Amino acid sequence: MSENFNLKKELVLERFKTLNPDSKISLGGQEITVRELIKHIEKEDEFGRNVVKAQIKMLQVLSSGM
């Protein structure tokens, strides 16, 4: 992956690491624990990459004041 993606990935990982690892989040119609989510992001599988993209987009929207 590119250096830019790696920076985004690290930002998203740090955000999720502040949450309880056993908390469940509903994504794409399925529930997943924060721990599982972090594993997907660390593996950089398709699901993990999509989570990173979605989180970065959400941060951009929030930082722009919508």
CA geometry: angle at 30 spanning 25 and 32, to 5°? 40
Q: What is the pTM of this model?
A: 0.86
Residue range 39-60, pLDDT digits in tens: 999 999 999 999 999 999 999 9
The domain containing residue 58 runs over which residues? 3-63
Q: What is the domain count for the chain?
A: 1
Residue range 5-34, pLDDT digits in tens: 999 999 999 999 999 999 999 987 889 999
The C-alpha atoms of residue 13 and residue 64 are separated, in whole angstroms, by: 22
CB contact at 8 A, 36 and 21: no
